[in-house]
């Protein structure tokens, strides 16, 4: 499986946005487009999540970017609701979705797929939420992955505990597909 780029050069960003590389450099230097410089060099690098945030904020079409898709991993028991969520997200055209029914499968898929966002049902039998967050954060290729807990019921205190364990957000079931899409979009637009 070909690995998709999560960090881009100014030339790659210019092609995606259909502008001159110098324009991308100006966006970067003014702080509008966030990224970093290669140590000991003037070369600029832009994380994909920052480019997507910038493009959405400025109304630039996402169609030049991997077909405009963002990678989402849904870890939940394999029921009809999962299939509906997967189909709805893929039908939207902006998301490439993979599913896993257990923690082991989720780990394997995350290693290969490099999701931008992981939705994880924390009530699955083999899920240790704190351990999974730790493992994902330790993996340099997944450090910027947003992790969103899914659960049936949660008190405010339990939700705060999840955030302290390393989750970026949480959703309580039942939720509709629009809430899920909004959660993905908000997660991907957060400035790291």
Architecture of the domain whose range is 69-189: 3-Layer(aba) Sandwich (3.40)
**Taking Cα atoms as reference points, which of 159, 183, 151, 128 lies closest to residue 76?**
151
Residue 69 to residue 49: CA distance in whole angstroms: 11
Q: Provide the pLDDT for residue 107.
A: 85
Q: Provide the pLDDT for residue 191.
A: 36
Residue ranges covered by each domain of the chain: 7-66, 69-189
DSSP one-letter code for 142: T
Residue 44 to residue 86: CA distance in whole angstroms: 35
pLDDT tens string 35-94: 999 888 888 999 888 888 888 788 877 666 655 577 899 988 877 777 888 888 887 777
Q: Provide the pLDDT for residue 6.
A: 75
DSSP class per residue in 4-46: PPSEEEHHHHHHHHTS-HHHHHHHHHTTSS--EEPTTS--EEE
pLDDT tens string 95-112: 888 998 888 888 889 888
pLDDT tens string 6-40: 788 998 898 888 889 899 999 999 999 999 998 88
Q: Going by DSSP bridges, is the β-strand pair 95-100/117-121 parallel, antiparallel, or unpaired?
A: unpaired
| Least confident interval from 137-141, 172-176, 185-189 | 185-189
Give the CATH number of domain 7-66.
1.10.1660.10
Residue 160 to residue 146: CA distance in whole angstroms: 16
Q: How many residues appear in the chain?
A: 192
The fraction of the chain above a pLDDT of 70, given in percent, is 89
Residue appearing with tokens 């959703």: 171
Query: Whole-number mean pLDDT of the chain?
Result: 82
Q: Provide the pLDDT for residue 181.
A: 78
């Amino acid at each position: 499986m070909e690995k998709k780029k999560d960090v881009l050069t100014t030339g790659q960003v210019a092609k995606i946005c259909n502008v001159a590389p110098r324009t991308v450099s100006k966006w970067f230097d003014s702080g509008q487009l966030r990224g970093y410089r290669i140590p000991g060099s003037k070369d600029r690098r832009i994380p994909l999540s920052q480019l997507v945030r910038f493009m959405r904020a400025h109304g630039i079409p996402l169609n030049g970017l991997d077909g405009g898709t963002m990678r989402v991993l849904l870890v939940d028991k394999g029921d009809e609701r999962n299939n509906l969520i997967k189909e709805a997200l893929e039908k939207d055209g902006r998301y490439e979705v993979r599913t896993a029914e257990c923690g082991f499968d989720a780990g394997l898929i995350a290693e290969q797929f490099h999701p931008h966002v992981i939705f994880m049902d924390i009530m699955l039998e083999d899920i240790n939420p704190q351990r999974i967050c730790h493992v994902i954060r330790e993996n340099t290729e997944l450090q910027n992955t947003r992790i969103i807990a899914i659960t049936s019921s949660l008190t405010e205190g339990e939700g705060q505990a999840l955030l302290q364990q390393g989750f970026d957000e949480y959703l309580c079931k039942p939720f509709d597909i629009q809430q899920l899409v909004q959660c993905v979009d908000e997660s991907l637009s957060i400035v790291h």
